[in-house]
Amino acid sequence: MPAYHSKFNSFEGEEFCGMAILPITTSVRGPAPQSPADEEDVVDETIKFFRANVFFRNFEVKGGGDRTMIYLTLYLQACLKELERVSSKTEAAKALHQMAIKPFAIPGDSQWVLGGMCPPPKNMAEGEGLKAYLKQCREEVGLRVVELLYYADGSKNKWWQSFSKRKFMGKELKDR
């Protein structure tokens, strides 16, 4: 069974380090173009395919949309791992916000886990643009994960939390 690929691979737009700069539906400030609220964005797509894709050790990259989705899948897995020990929804939102704004590796850094999958930035502006876009995506993923992981009564969704033990492609995002 093949992995689920991004529908945004054919997206004609800006790319930084081989990763597509895709529109997202968000209130978080950043360089990402605004996506209409009624359309699925790359964050929705990552969340939708996470539980299926996390079982794959290999993932054939078909475009910039896939690279963006791979990074967000790894980040989503890191969020679930971080929230294993957090019990309340408010604490979870704070923890994920802190995690999103923490310095992180980009292609070309020694801590970058995706190796040669993404080329290093051609110049400083491309590197800074990618950092800003990924930071915005990380914050948005954090906001949406909290809503998925916690029920209205404040208890955890054990079916989502159980995926914190899985590693997508056998990799984990590392702190800088």
pLDDT 10s digits, 100-147: 999 999 998 888 888 888 899 999 999 999 999 999 999 999 999 999
Token digits for 155?
A: 């208890």
Under the banding of pLDDT at 50, 70 and 90, the label for residue 176 is low
Selection from 81, 68, 87, 58 nearest residue 23 by Cα: 68
* pLDDT of 66 over the 70 cut: yes
What percent of the chain is modeled with pLDDT above 90? 53
What percent of the chain is modeled with pLDDT above 70? 98
Average pLDDT, the chain: 89
Q: What is the pLDDT of residue 56?
A: 82
* pLDDT of 175 over the 70 cut: no
* pLDDT of 13 over the 90 cut: no
* pLDDT of 45 over the 90 cut: yes
Q: What is the pLDDT of residue 133?
A: 95
Alpha helices in the chain (DSSP H): 42-53, 64-82, 89-101, 124-149, 158-161
Coil/strand/helix, residue 24: strand
**Least confident range of 4-8, 16-20, 92-96, 136-140:** 4-8
Q: What is the pLDDT of residue 1?
A: 58
Question: What's the whole-model pTM score?
Answer: 0.93
In angstroms, rounded to a whole number, what is the distance separating the alpha carbons of residues 44 and 147? Answer: 13
Token digits for 111?
A: 């801590």
In angstroms, rounded to a whole number, what is the distance separating the alpha carbons of residues 150 and 125? Answer: 38
Mean pLDDT for the stretch of residues 72-94: 93
